[in-house]
C-alpha cells in the first residue's frame, strides 16, 4: 500500500525520502572517517602501551550491543532525532530533552574534528599558508554543498569513501609485504597487537574510550530515518555500519601496530596532532605519504559532509518540537528540502576549529556519545519491557532486558575511563541544559513540547504504511 502524502505546512518544505540502504550505510561509514585510525594511532598507542587493535576490539564489542538497541528503537520509532527522540518517547520528554541537549556536544563538535584534521593535512602540504584560511574554505564548501542537496551530498560522500577505503587496502598490502621482509614485528600473524606483558586492562579501556568516538557513525545513521526510502531498512543500516566500520578499524590498526610496535616511532608533535602523514612517510616515502594523506583528506571530507548533515537534522527535530526556537531551527527550505538555518549555524560553529586541538575535542565528543549510548539502551528496556509489557517470555527477557542491560554495563566501562576534563566540561554543559529546561517548562509546571506523530514531515506520515519493497 502506498503511503498517503499530505501537504506540508505553509512556509516550510519537507525532507525527502530518497536514500536507500547503502546510501545510508555510506553516510554512516563516512561519518566514522575510516582513516581516523591512522590520525589517532600514535595517541592511542601511547595510552594503551601499544595495543591499539585491542582498544578497537573492546570498543566494537560495546558498540555492537548498543547498535542492536539503536536498531530496535529505530524500528519502533522511525523518526529522526536519534537518542533525543527515543528517550523522549520511551521515558519522559524532560529526560529526552536532557539527553538531546547533552548529545549536542557530540553532534556539534564532530564537524570541528574533521575541520581540525583537514587543517593539519593542508598545513603540512602548504606550510606557508595560515591554517585559519583552510578552516574557512572547508567550512564554506561543506556548508554550501549540504545546503543545496542531500542526495548530492550522499553521492559525493560515497565517492570519497570508496577512494579512501581503496587506498587503505593498498596500504595494508604494502605493510604486509614489509612485515614479510622482517620490518616492524617481522610477522603478519601475532597476538602482540592485542596483548603483551606490559598491557593492563585499564590502559586498554582508556584507549577504547578514546576510539569510541570513531564509532558514532551508526548513531548518526538514525538521523536519516525520515529520508530513508523505507523505515524498515534502518536496523540493517545501523548494524552494517557498525560491523563494516569496526572491521576496517580492526584490520587497519592490527597491521599498523605490527609495522610500528611502539609509539616511539613517531615524533611527539605528530602524536598530538595526526600520525597519518608520518605513517605514510615511514611506510612508503613521500609518494605514499601524499596518497595516504589524500585518502585521509577524502575520508575526512566525507565525514565532514555526513556529520554536518546529521547535526543539522538533530537541531531540526529539537526545533520543530519547540525546545529550540521553531522559526529558525524547525525550518526546512521548500526548494532544497534541507534545514538551511541549522546547516549554516553548524558551519559557523565549525569555524571555531581554528582554536582547538584534536585530543581536546575528541574527549568532549565522547561525553556526549556515551550519554546517548547509555540512554538508548535504557530506552529499549523502558519501551519494550515496561511500556509494551514484553518481559514475560525468556526470549523477550533476553532481547529487551538482558541485551540492552549488557550494552549499558559495557558502556559503563568506558564511562569509568572518560577523561576528567571532558567529564567536568560535559557536566557544565549538562547543567546549562538543565537550567534551560527549568525555564522552558516554567519550573516543570508544563511539559516539554512533543512532536505530533501524525504531522507530515517528509510528505509521508511519521510511520508510513508501505509494502515490502518500500513503495
pLDDT in tens, 63-79: 899 989 988 988 888 77
The predicted pLDDT at position 443 comes to 86
Give the integer Cα–Cα distance in Å for 59 and 149.
Answer: 33
pLDDT(459) > 50: no
pLDDT tier at 183, thresholds 50, 70, 90:
very high
The predicted pLDDT at position 463 comes to 35
pLDDT(252) > 60: yes
The predicted pLDDT at position 15 comes to 58
Most confident of 40-54, 258-272, 432-446: 40-54
Contact 375, 99 (CB under 8 A): yes
The predicted pLDDT at position 132 comes to 84
The predicted pLDDT at position 49 comes to 92
The predicted pLDDT at position 150 comes to 59
Percent of the chain with pLDDT over 90: 29
Residue 177: phi and psi, rounded to 5, are -60, -40
What is the mean predicted confidence (pLDDT) over 389-415? 91
What is the mean predicted confidence (pLDDT) over 452-467? 36
Query: What pairs with residue 19 in β-bridges?
Result: 228
Domain 21-440 top-level CATH class: mainly alpha
The predicted pLDDT at position 449 comes to 61
The predicted pLDDT at position 457 comes to 36
Residue 17 CB-density burial (10 A; 0-12 exposed, 13-18 middle, 19+ buried): buried
Residue 403 is placed in which grid cell?
A: 541485551
**Cα dist. 380→209, 216, 385, 389 in Å?**
23, 18, 7, 12
Buried b (16+ CB within 10 A) or exposed e, 129-168: eebeebbeebbeebbebbbebbeebbebbbebbebbbebb
What is the mean predicted confidence (pLDDT) over 210-218? 78
The predicted pLDDT at position 23 comes to 83
The predicted pLDDT at position 453 comes to 40
pLDDT tier at 103, thresholds 50, 70, 90:
confident
Provide the mean pLDDT of the chain: 82
> pLDDT, tens digit, for every residue of 15-36?
567 678 888 888 788 778 888 8
pLDDT tier at 363, thresholds 50, 70, 90:
confident
Give the integer Cα–Cα distance in Å for 385 and 93.
Answer: 19
pLDDT(466) > 60: no
Residue 333: phi and psi, rounded to 5, are -65, 120
What is the mean predicted confidence (pLDDT) over 241-257? 94
pLDDT tier at 80, thresholds 50, 70, 90:
low
Amino acid at each position: 500500500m502506498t503511503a498517503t502524502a499530505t501537504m506540508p505546512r505553509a512556509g516550510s518544505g519537507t525532507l525527502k525520502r530518497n536514500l536507500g540502504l547503502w546510501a545510508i550505510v555510506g553516510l554512516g561509514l563516512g561519518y566514522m572517517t575510516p582513516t581516523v585510525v591512522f590520525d589517532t594511532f600514535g595517541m592511542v598507542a601511547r595510552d594503551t602501551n601499544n595495543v591499539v587493535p585491542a582498544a578497537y576490539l573492546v570498543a566494537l564489542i560495546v558498540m555492537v550491543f548498543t547498535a542492536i538497541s539503536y536498531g530496535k528503537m529505530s524500528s519502533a520509532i522511525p523518526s529522526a532525532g536519534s537518542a533525543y527522540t527515543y528517550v523522549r518517547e520511551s521515558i519522559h520528554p524532560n529526560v529526552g530533552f536532557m539527553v538531546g541537549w547533552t548529545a549536542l556536544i557530540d553532534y556539534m563538535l564532530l564537524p570541528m574534528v574533521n575541520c581540525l584534521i583537514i587543517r593539519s593535512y593542508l598545513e603540512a602540504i602548504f606550510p606557508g599558508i595560515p591554517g585559519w584560511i583552510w578552516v574557512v574554505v572547508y567550512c564554506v564548501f561543506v556548508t554550501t554543498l549540504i545546503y543545496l542537496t542531500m542526495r548530492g551530498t550522499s553521492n559525493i560522500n560515497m565517492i570519497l569513501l570508496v577512494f579512501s577505503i581503496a587506498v587503505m587496502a593498498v596500504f595494508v598490502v604494502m605493510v604486509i609485504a614489509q612485515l614479510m621482509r622482517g620490518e616492524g614485528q617481522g610477522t603478519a600473524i601475532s597476538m602482540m597487537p592485542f596483548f603483551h606483558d606490559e598491557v593492563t586492562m585499564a590502559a586498554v579501556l582508556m584507549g577504547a574510550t578514546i576510539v569510541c568516538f570513531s564509532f558514532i557513525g551508526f548513531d548518526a545513521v538514525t538521523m536519516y530515518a525520515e529520508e530513508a526510502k523505507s523505515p524498515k531498512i534502518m536496523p540493517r543500516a545501523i548494524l552494517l555500519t557498525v560491523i563494516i566500520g569496526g572491521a576496517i578499524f580492526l584490520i587497519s590498526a592490527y597491521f599498523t601496530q605490527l609495522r610500528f610496535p611502539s609509539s616511539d616511532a613517531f615524533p611527539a608533535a605528530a602524536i598530538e596532532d595526526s600520525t597519518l602523514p608520518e605513517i605514510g612517510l615511514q611506510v612508503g616515502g613521500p609518494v605514499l605519504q601524499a596518497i595516504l594523506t589524500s585518502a585521509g583528506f577524502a575520508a575526512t571530507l566525507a565525514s565532514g559532509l555526513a556529520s554536518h548533515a546529521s547535526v543539522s537534522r538533530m537541531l531540526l527535530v529539537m526545533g520543530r518540537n519547540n525546545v529550540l526556537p521553531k522559526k529558525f531551527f524547525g525550518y526546512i527550505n521548500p526548494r532544497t528540502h534541507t534545514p538551511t538555518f541549522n546547516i549554516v549555524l553548524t558551519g559557523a560553529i565549525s569555524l571555531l576549529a581554528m582554536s582547538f586541538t584534536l585530543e581536546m575535542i575528541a574527549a568532549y565528543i565522547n561525553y556526549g556519545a556515551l550519554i546517548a549510548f547509555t540512554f538508548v539502551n535504557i530506552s529499549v528496556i523502558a519501551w519494550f519491557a515496561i511500556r509494551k509489557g514484553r518481559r514475560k517470555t525468556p526470549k523477550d527477557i533476553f532481547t529487551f532486558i538482558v541485551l540492552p542491560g549488557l550494552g549499558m554495563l559495557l558502556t559503563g566501562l568506558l564511562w569509568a575511563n572518560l577523561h576528567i576534563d571532558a567529564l567536568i566540561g560535559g557536566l557544565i554543559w549538562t547543567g546549562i541544559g538543565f537550567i534551560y529546561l527549568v525555564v522552558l517548562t516554567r519550573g516543570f509546571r508544563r511539559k516539554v513540547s512533543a512532536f505530533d506523530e501524525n504531522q507530515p514531515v517528509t510528505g509521508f506520515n511519521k510511520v508510513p504504511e508501505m509494502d515490502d519493497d518500500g513503495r
